[in-house]
Amino acid sequence: MARGEGGSLGRALINALADAAGGTVGVRKSYTAKGWHAQISKLTSSPRGYLAAERAGLSVNQRTLMDWLAERREPTAANQRRIAEAYGIMAGRWPDGHERQDIEISGTVKIGDDERSRGSAGHAPLLIDGRAGNWDRMKRAWNAGGDLDEQDFEDWFVEDVIEEDLGESSEPFQFPGGSYTVTLG
**Spatial contact of 16 and 33, defined as CB atoms under 8 Å apart:** no
Instruction: Give the tens place of pLDDT for each residue, 104-138.
Output: 999 999 998 999 999 987 889 999 999 989 999 99
Can you tell me the distance from the alpha carbon of 127 to that of 105, in angstroms, rounded to the nearest whole number?
Answer: 7
Can you tell me the distance from the alpha carbon of 40 to that of 45, in angstroms, rounded to the nearest whole number?
Answer: 9
What pLDDT, on a 0 to 100 scale, did the predictor assign at position 74?
A: 96
What pLDDT, on a 0 to 100 scale, did the predictor assign at position 83?
A: 96
What pLDDT, on a 0 to 100 scale, did the predictor assign at position 22?
A: 74
What pLDDT, on a 0 to 100 scale, did the predictor assign at position 52?
A: 87
As a whole number, the mean pLDDT across the chain is 90
pLDDT over 90 (residue 99) = no
48 versus 162: the higher-pLDDT residue is 162
pLDDT over 90 (residue 182) = yes
Instruction: Give the tens place of pLDDT for each residue, 7-51.
Output: 999 999 999 998 888 777 777 777 788 999 999 999 999 888 898
pLDDT over 90 (residue 71) = yes
What pLDDT, on a 0 to 100 scale, did the predictor assign at position 33?
A: 85
Q: Which residues pair with 102 in a beta bridge?
A: 129
Cα distances (Å, whole numbers) of residue 173 to 2, 33, 48, 64, 95: 23, 42, 37, 53, 26
Treating both helix axes as pointing N-terminal to C-terminal, what angle do 150-157 and 136-144 enclose, rounded to 10 degrees? 160
- Of the ranges 25-34, 40-49, 77-86, 163-172, which one carries the lowest mean pLDDT score? 25-34
pLDDT over 90 (residue 170) = no
